[in-house]
Copies of this chain bind each other. A is one copy, B any other.
Amino acid sequence: MKKAVILLSGGLDSSTVAAIAKANGKELFALTIDYNQRHQIELEAARKVAHFLEIQHQVVLPVDLRIFGGSSLTDNLAVPKNVPSEQIGRSVPNTYVPARNTVFLSLALAYAETVGAGEIYLGISAVDSSGYPDSRPEFLKAFEHLANVATKLGYESARSGQPGFRIHAPLLHWSKAETIRRGLELGFDYGLTWTCYDPEPGGLSCGQCESCTLRRQGFREAGVSDPLAYE
């Protein structure tokens, strides 16, 4: 049973990847980053998903990215609403958090190296977030190379001809609908996940932010109903 770190936000994508990694027989170490995003409800979702998937190890690490500012996910800019789904991902959106995936993967790498895991799973998709520079295949390739240069495991693996760190992003070329269908095949419960960037005080999803729009379209295309309640 090989050890792997999973970057688990509690959203639909990373939760599906956790289910996939579990189905691949990995011993999972979940890393959930509390970056003071508006949607703290996501952290609770991450805990529920880890419990549902019987993940033994979970670390919730606070890293206050608001200290840098610069994104509507972490400061007080308005979250864009009702952007047509075909326009989402055409340019770098204002929900982009500077260098977020780089920061998250580097923390996952530190966790992996500490526990002796040689693999990291994450839920990025180039399909529905093509506006984020750090959700592209080139980014993953560059990070995997860095991981092998930067760490004791990568360094010693290269010296002894062993395989080094691997970064797995199984959703990279999947649409949201394909992701949902795969999760449902694996028996995953999407009612545990959280997606909305701008939830109502009562805990309902807004249904209109970019993230909700893509999720709802994904469920429609997958031909199944979304277990979450919307405003």
Contact = CB atoms under 8 A, between A and B. Distances in A.
A133 B106 contact: no
B98 A110 contact: yes
A69 B114 contact: yes
- Number of this chain's copies in the assembly equals 2
B114 A68 contact: yes
A92 B59 contact: no
Interface string A86-115: 000000100011111111011101110111
B96 A100 contact: no
- Considering residues A107, A136, A139, A146, which has the most beta carbons from chain B within 10 angstroms of its beta carbon? A146
A146 to B, nearest CB: 4
B151 A136 contact: no
A150 B140 CA distance: 9
A149 interface: yes
Interface string A62-73: 111101111000
A210 interface: no
B139 A142 contact: no
Contact of A99 (B67, B68, B110): B110
A138 interface: yes
A123 interface: no
A149 to B, nearest CB: 5
A70 B143 CA distance: 22
A145 interface: yes
A101 B150 contact: yes
A47 B205 CA distance: 43
9 contacts: A61-B64, A68-B115, A98-B111, A98-B151, A99-B109, A105-B106, A134-B149, A134-B150, A145-B146
Interface pairs A-B: 5 shortest CB-CB? A98-B113, A133-B155, A99-B110, A70-B114, A68-B114
